[in-house]
Amino acid sequence: MSFMKRDVNLGLLILIIVSIVLFSGFSVYYETSFKDVSLEYQEKLEQLSQVTKELVTKRQELNETYSLRVKAEQDKQTLDARYNEVRGENDQLSTDNTNLRSEVSSVKSNLAEKSAQLDVTRNLLAQTQSQLSSAKAERDKYRSRWDTVCDAYTSLNGGVEHDKC
């Protein structure tokens, strides 16, 4: 039995040593694995921090872009309203221009017609004045003849004038 006791003690000792070596090996392995996981965790945490910073930057850029887009849409609406307003004014001015041109054309044709009538009236006036001058000359000639006849009658009548003379 003493042999067994010795073998058992030796077996237990070997088992204890193997257990200690295995426990130490597993501890070293887990410590190394934990350090690797811890370093990887730190790297991932730094990457997450960088991504968060980039995300914040991109969010600010997105907000700026959005505000620029909103402002551009407002400017577009304002410009559209002004364009429609100016286009309406342009259409009205174009219509007014067309109306004024036709009115000017009408006035010019009326003016030409009135000028022609004035020329006709002037010619008629000139003819009438010429006829009046001729009539006055004829009248003067008849008056002079009348006076001559009256003078001859008065001298033949012994100086007595006729009541018509």
Structural tokens at position 61:
């850029």
pLDDT confidence of residue 157: 77
Predicted TM-score of the model (pTM) = 0.44
pLDDT confidence of residue 1: 47
Long-range contacts of 149-156 (CB under 8 A, 24+ apart): none
Instruction: Provide block-wise average pLDDT over 10 residues at a time, the chain (165 residues).
Output: 62 91 95 94 96 96 96 96 95 96 95 94 93 92 88 78 67
pLDDT confidence of residue 151: 83
DSSP state of 159: S
Q: If we measure between CA atoms, which residue out of 2, 154, 101 comes closest to residue 162? A: 154
